Amino acid sequence: MCIATRQRLPDTQLLRVVADTQGCIIPDPGRRLPGRGAWITPDLAAYELAEKRRAFARALRLSAPVDTGQVREYISKTFEIVRKTEH
């Protein structure tokens, strides 16, 4: 289930993210990194919604503010480019 849109989608259509030891949220496209993971629809609209709702910290059970810059960068570079070439 996407932490932003709350849609139930297959895992293959979602991006897994995890928190590292410094509180940074990092993408886990291989779905292999240790720790609690959260799933998000890989588009910038879902990312912005998750940021607005503070869904990353809630889903990963973090009390401190989190840095999600790596997730935004990954989505921008990987998925938004793919969507542009599909149209």
pLDDT tens-digit readout, 5-64: 999 999 999 999 999 988 899 999 999 999 999 999 999 999 999 999 999 999 999 988
Is residue 1 in some structural domain? no
Q: Rg of the chain over CA atoms, in angstroms?
A: 12
Q: What is the pLDDT of residues 1-11, one digit of tens each?
A: 999 999 999 99
Asked whether residue 81 is assigned to any structural domain, the reply reads: yes
pLDDT at 81 (0 to 100): 62
Note the residue count of the chain: 87
For residues 64 and 19, the answer to whether their CB atoms sit within 8 Å is: no
The whole-model pTM stands at 0.86
Q: Alpha helix (H) ranges present in 2-43?
A: none
For residue 84, pLDDT over 80 is answered with: no
Give the pLDDT band of residue 65 (cuts 50, 70, 90). Answer: confident
- Domain total for the chain? 1
* Residues of the domain holding 33: 11-86
